[in-house]
Structure 1
Amino acid sequence: MFDGIFEAIENWMRDLLTGMVTSNLTTMFTDVNEKTGEIASQVGQTPQAWNGSIFSLIQNLSNSVIIPIAGMIITFVLCYELISMLTEKNNMHEIDTWMFFKYFFKMWVAVWLVSNTFTITMAVFDVGQYVVNAAGGVISSDTAINVESMLDAMETAMESMNIGELVVLAMESMLVSLCMKILSVLITVILYGRMIEIYLYTSVAPIPFATLSNREWGQVGNNYFRGLLALGFQGFFMMVCVGIYAVLVSTIEISDNMHSALFGVAAYTVILCFSLMKTASLSRSIFNAH
């Protein structure tokens, strides 16, 4: 009689632990599939599409506060340009008419750039959005993990385990599942931090754009434009990181050793977090922005 009771208790505990492990791992691998699409939808949005209210606030601040300052900078830069143009030709002894046409053309370009600052900056992020969306389609289609086959492998591997091993495995799966939740929070922080940086970067866009018409001062505008490209393509690097992560996780064999498989997922998760944090500096380094 007692043998039957103990056997029933053991079966109940086995079913409970197996269900717990299966639930945790199913959620974990499902999150891997969903994460690619989630990050693609976030980094693939332009600033005005991500949050229209914040974008309107930044645009109004730029138009009302920054553009008047950019106008003063344009005045200074154009005066400096005119003085340099006149004095570099043998102290105004060699002055040609074409020099003034060149000067007025630079003046028109400077005013046009400041007047269309937001159009130009948004064009950069439109290009970045196209690249990220195209990469998201390729990555999500190539790295989706077959959860059903994973479930079959997990159930087969757990059939040969005793109660003690299932308890340890359940605790490990809970730990890895918690790491996945923390990962989701960190990814959200990184994504929101990037968008806030974009809004801050675009809020002062008229000032560096006002320097582009001058050779000496134009370095400010050139570096700013490289920074815009770096921010736009940072989303692409983030997509590549998630794609690599999904490929690494999909190669883990559950049936061989479930313990090492769980810790392998945890290790890849830490690598993903570190890689996502490095995308900003990597992008700036590639585009030589500082």
Structure 2
Amino acid sequence: MESDNWIVQNLNSALSTWNDKLTEIWTLLTQSPENFKGGAIWGVMVNVNDALKAIGYGLLVLFFAVGIVKTCSSYTDIKKPEHVVKAFIRFALAQGAVMYGMELLTAVFSIVQGMVSTIMSNSGMAQGVTELPVEIVEKIESVGMLESIPLWIVTLLGSLLITVLSFIMVLTVYGRMFKLYMYTAIAPIPISSFAGDTTQSVGKNFIRSYTGVCLEGAIIALACIIFSAFAASPPALGDQSLSAVTIVWNYVGELVFNLLVLVGAVKASDRIVKEIMGL
């Protein structure tokens, strides 16, 4: 609701910042790394990935040799056909994984992104917009000059908390995107460990961790959907006979609490995914 009152404008400005950041999060959750910021960052990561493939091939041979030494106790074991065939099949598969690692990671992301899109489209919740209730605006506008001083302090603190929480939340989502880029760039190194029977756990952990980072998007989307359900029922305004300061304080306090719950859920998305996947 538009108002000439500077206290109302202060609260509306904070809520506008929050809504903008929430919209940005929804956009980030539906955007692939290839299209993020016009694809310039993705191009750099692809170049780094290609450069590290040479090192990955070198480590591939090293891990293969280490695996042969660890699994074959004698030269006789090496001459057994089953050992030779198994070792070279593992080497060929690991080489293919290093060569097409980018495609493998992109496929994993696409699968998880499909899950995120399904969650968002079938939740039945539209992107919620948090607005200042008309009752709050009327209460604030009815306050005199002297009574507006404590009200100004309450709204200033509330606006500051809302703005800080909005930036913390969007930074967490940006952090997920950065982790996706880092995993993509460094992929040839851990994937090369698949060449050795004793080192393959490194590659498995890498794939699981990357999948976990992708799944963080699903957890964040669910958190935002749950918050939208909360936002559909605005915070209780309390007894209208109370003073404007008390009513506004109750409203801001409940709103900040709901935002804290959402920010906490978003920041805990990595821990939730680790618990789900047993990482």
Q: TM-score range by the shorter chain?
A: 0.7 to 0.9
Work out which of the two has the higher radius of gyration on C-alpha atoms and give 1 or 2: 1
Alignment match of 2:184 (pick from 202, 222, 235): 202
Corresponding residue for 2:103?
119
Map 1:76-91; keep pairs closer than 5 Å.
Answer: 76-84=62-70, 86-87=72-73
Deviation of 1:138 after TM superposition, in Å, equals 4.8
Write the letter of the residue equivalent to 1:87: S
Map 1:1-290; keep pairs closer than 5 Å.
Answer: 19-29=5-15, 33-51=19-37, 52-64=39-51, 66-84=52-70, 86-87=72-73, 92=76, 96-138=80-122, 141=125, 144=128, 147=131, 151-155=133-137, 157=139, 165-249=147-231, 250-254=233-237, 256=239, 257-289=247-279
Write the letter of the residue equivalent to 2:44: L
In structure 2, do the counterparts of structure 1 residues 246 and 165 end up closer, same or farther at CA, with 3 Å as the change threshold?
A: farther
* Cα displacement string for residues 12-47 of structure 1 (whole angstroms, at most 9, x for unaligned residues): xxx85xx33443444555555554432121133222
* Distance of 2:95 and 2:7 partners within structure 1: 64
Deviation of 1:107 after TM superposition, in Å, equals 2.0
- CA RMSD for the aligned pairs? 3.1
Write the letter of the residue equivalent to 1:41: T
Deviation of 1:141 after TM superposition, in Å, equals 2.2
Write the letter of the residue equivalent to 1:173: T
Are the equivalent residues in 2 in contact too, given 1:229–1:287 (CA < 8 A)? no
Which stretch shifts more, 174-183 or 215-224?
174-183
In structure 2, do the counterparts of structure 1 residues 170 and 35 end up closer, same or farther at CA, with 3 Å as the change threshold?
A: same
Deviation of 1:50 after TM superposition, in Å, equals 1.3
Percentage of identical aligned residues: 19
Q: Secondary structure at the match of 2:268?
A: helix
Deviation of 1:114 after TM superposition, in Å, equals 0.3
Write the letter of the residue equivalent to 1:39: I
* Distance of 2:160 and 2:202 partners within structure 1: 45
* Distance of 1:170 and 1:94 partners within structure 2: 80
In structure 2, do the counterparts of structure 1 residues 22 and 48 end up closer, same or farther at CA, with 3 Å as the change threshold?
A: same
In structure 2, do the counterparts of structure 1 residues 208 and 286 end up closer, same or farther at CA, with 3 Å as the change threshold?
A: same
Which stretch shifts more, 38-47 or 238-247?
238-247
In structure 2, do the counterparts of structure 1 residues 141 and 25 end up closer, same or farther at CA, with 3 Å as the change threshold?
A: farther
* Distance of 1:282 and 1:69 partners within structure 2: 34
Which runs of 5 or more structure 1 residues have no equivalent in the other structure?
1-14
Deviation of 1:189 after TM superposition, in Å, equals 2.4
Deviation of 1:193 after TM superposition, in Å, equals 2.4
* Distance of 2:226 and 2:56 partners within structure 1: 43
Write the letter of the residue equivalent to 1:105: I
* Distance of 1:23 and 1:140 partners within structure 2: 31
Are the equivalent residues in 2 in contact too, given 1:186–1:273 (CA < 8 A)? yes
Deviation of 1:111 after TM superposition, in Å, equals 0.9
* Distance of 2:77 and 2:270 partners within structure 1: 51
* Distance of 2:77 and 2:254 partners within structure 1: 75
TM-score (norm. length: structure 1): 0.77
In structure 2, do the counterparts of structure 1 residues 156 and 41 end up closer, same or farther at CA, with 3 Å as the change threshold?
A: same
